[in-house]
Amino acid sequence: MSVAEASITRSVVGRAARGERTRDLLFRVALLLCMLVAVLFLAALVVDVAIDGAPILGPDFVTSYPSRIAPESSGVRSALLGTVYLMGLCALFIVPVGVAAAVYLEEYARPERWYNRLVEVNIQNLASVPSVVYGILGLAFIVRGPIDVWGLGQGQPTLLAGALTLGLLVLPVVIIVAREAIRAVPSSIREASLALGATEWQTTWRQVLPSATAGIATGVILALSRAIGETAPLILVGAAAFQRFDPAIDGQFSALPIQIFNNVTEPEAIFRDLAAATILVLLLLLLVMNSIAVLLRNRYETKW
Amino acid sequence: MERAPDPTTRAPADGGGLTRRRTRRSVGERAVLGFLGAAAVLSVLTTTGIVLTLVVESIPFFEHVAPKEFLTGTGWSPLAGGGSQAFGVLPLVWSTLYLTLVALAVAIPLGLGVGILLAEYASARVRRTVKPVVEVLAGVPTIVFGYFALTFLTPLLQEHLGIELQIFNGLSAGIVLGILVLPTIASVSEDAMSAVPQSLREGAFGLGAAKRQVVVRVVFPAALSGIVAALVLGASRAIGETVVILVAAGNTPSLTTDLGTAHQNMAAFIANVARSDVSAGSVAYDTIFAVGLTLFAITLALNLVAIRFVRRYRQVYE
């Protein structure tokens, strides 16, 4: 290569590199802008809700019943209690069932069998079914239908029906996260246990599950915090608005998202602020749950 | 580990008892396995329950309204009084897809931008701030987004940007819907790009490529199947979203491209019928199931396409 050629090559490369440097910079700026939009959006959302809702939020707001007639003294008592009950029942349902399904798929199922593959594909698909469709299932199958085995509601909406509907909705989340946690337990633990004469179930119950507890608990909280914010399935199942009495398992119930929704749809401005205050209660509840999840993860997570 | 005497440690001592105890234990084991299997089967039963409900409960509706009229009609007003009811689902389907399109127009550039930033550019410090923002956004209940669209974004667009909008409009609902699916697209595409092996990047750098070229021409194409999956997941979330539309977009589906007027998607329609005082058993009430069936079919088809696409175009790296 002659000297002239070499210098041409160098200058071409140099120019390309310089042009590329500008483009690279622009690209970085564009990416940062994307992030900035997301951050700004979240900030605007929180600030907007806080400005509207904070003046109303107080002890009275939490302890009084919602009211359509006297919005000045309206609160969230029945909705907050409803949400807490829903979460409790939902957890009672999804923890055993979700963990059992995850254990089955990870520890027992042979993936080459068609029925096991069916279950796997099915769980993937269930995770993307719109929540309103679960609401239809809850309405037709649990509230009015064959699954109302307890005969509790006699076709009327009950808290139990709501909790079961939400449980079915978030079950795929629990299963998927619990499977990951179980898979993360190294197989040497299982082999050692089996080699000492433990049965498969003894190995699972005494070695694998305790080691996976942190991950499973995180998954359950994740699932519950999704269930807590769901509005559509509860509208379908028939949750009440402006309920003036405490919820019961076999009776009419309300929930925070339902209360927010009904406040938002009222025309007068004061209901908007009530909605914002209710949103603050819901967000605080979510914050507490997520903090617990983070604590659990930090405290009990095992590094292999 | 536990204090409880473990039968297995004594088992070898009494040779004769070994088989008996093994048999007894294996019965228990089988019972446990049965319970675990039943829990896994519950998920299949859920799907069966959904399909059965939608199909069986739609039958009375389709006895009254011909499927052809339902699928091709351009007027939708099942809640109207007297003889002015119309049962053509097209306006609902159109509004659903149109709002999803608006949402994707917002969410694809922003979501992919955040995904690329997290996967390829972010330093540990930036990741520590961006990741939580994305996670928090993903965890905010959708009713909050609906509230935000109605009470913040719509007035903002009307007053400060001077856009002609009705109080209930497709524009702010669509934009907020986009922000709603942003975290899905960002985190799934981030995972896809992080899974691209480092050797591909190093190879490209070794050939003299700049960072942006590596990201755009090597990492992005290599992660394409995962990125497509991210987009389809985002789209199916937007299609099935209920309350944002219900709160912010009003309740009149229409075959218009005008975002300044009210829109209604399928999910919001279903919720709207459920909370109205339409009596159970009437044709208007049964639209819940017919529209639910349509919505379920669309999201299922989308999901199956996504799974197939990912399988066919996935590059396997060792």
Query: Is the Cβ pair B53, A33 closer than 8 Å?
Result: no
pLDDT at residue B60, as a whole number: 92
Q: Which of A51-65, A90-104, A232-246, B74-88 has the lowest mean pLDDT?
A: B74-88
> Does residue A263 come out as left (phi exceeding 0), alpha (psi in the -120 to 50 range) or beta?
alpha
Residue among B33, B130, B233 whose CB faces A35 most closely: B130
Burial A108-130 (b: 16+ CB within 10 A, else e): bbeeeeeebeebbebbebbbbbb
Q: How confident is the model at residue B15 (pLDDT cuts 50, 70, 90)?
A: very low
Task: For residues A80 and B297, give the distance between their C-alpha atoms in angstroms, rounded to a whole number.
Answer: 35
pLDDT (tens digit, 9 = 90+) per residue, A168-191?
999 999 999 999 999 999 999 999
Does B235 reach chain A within 8 Å, measured CB to CB?
Answer: no
Instruction: Using an 8 Å CB-CB cutoff, list chain B residues near A23.
Output: 210, 212
Mutation to test the A interface, candidates B22, B143, B211, B215, most A Cβ within 10 Å: B143
Could you tell me if B61 lies within 8 Å of chain A, comparing CB atoms?
no
| CB neighbour burial string for B242-253, b if at least 16 within 10 angstroms, e if fewer | bbbbbbbbbbeb
Which residues in chain A are contacts of B212 at CB distance < 8 A?
20, 23-24, 27
Contact in structure between A191 and A152 (CB atoms under 8 Å) = no
pLDDT, tens digit, 9 for 90 and up, residues B185-223: 999 899 899 989 999 999 999 998 989 999 999 999 999
* Residue numbers in B near A118 (CB within 8 A): 44
Q: Count other C-beta atoms under 10 Å from residue A47's C-beta.
A: 11
Alpha carbon distance A237, A255 (integer Å): 12
Backbone angles phi, psi at B76, to 5 degrees: -130, 100
User: Which residue of A lies nearest to B214 if distances are taken between CA atoms?
Assistant: A24
Q: Which residues of B touch A49 (CB under 8 A)?
A: 144, 147-148
Q: Which residues pair with B87 in a beta bridge?
A: B76
pLDDT band at B129 (very low <50, low <70, confident <90, very high): confident
Separation of alpha carbons B98 and B173, rounded Å: 11
DSSP state of B186: H
CB contact under 8 A, A27 and B1: no
ipTM higher than threshold 0.85: yes
**B309 at A interface, C-beta within 8 A:** no
Cβ distance of B240 and A33 shorter than 8 Å: no
Q: B19: pLDDT confidence band, cut at 50, 70 and 90?
A: very low
Cα B62 versus chain centre, distance? 28
Residue A262 has pLDDT above 60, yes or no: yes
CA dist B129 → A44, A45, B124 (Å): 17, 17, 9
The span from the CA of B244 to the CA of B241, in Å, is: 7
CB atoms under 10 Å from CB of B271, counted, come to 26
Q: DSSP string spanning B286-304?
A: HHHHHHHHHHHHHHHHHHH
Among B129-138, B153-162, B261-270, which range has the highest average pLDDT? B261-270
User: Which of A23, A39, A41 has the most B C-beta neighbours within 10 Å, making it the best mutation to test the interface with B?
Assistant: A41
Are the C-beta atoms of residues B195 and B223 closer than 8 Å to each other?
A: yes
Cβ of A32 within 8 Å of Cβ of B141? The answer is no
What domains can you pick out in chain B, each with its CATH number? 7-64 (no CATH), 82-313 (1.10.3720.10)
Give the distance, in angstroms, between the CA of residue B293 and the centroid of all CA atoms in the same chain: 16
User: B292, A114 in Cβ contact below 8 A?
Assistant: no
Please state the separation of Cα B23 from the chain's center in Å: 47
Residue A140 pLDDT class (50, 70, 90 cuts):
confident
Structure tokens at A300: 């009990």
Half-sphere exposure of B47 (CA within 13 A, CB side): 19
Q: State which amino acid sits at residue A23.
A: R
Tell me which residue in A23, A41, A128 faces B303 most closely, judged by beta carbons. A128
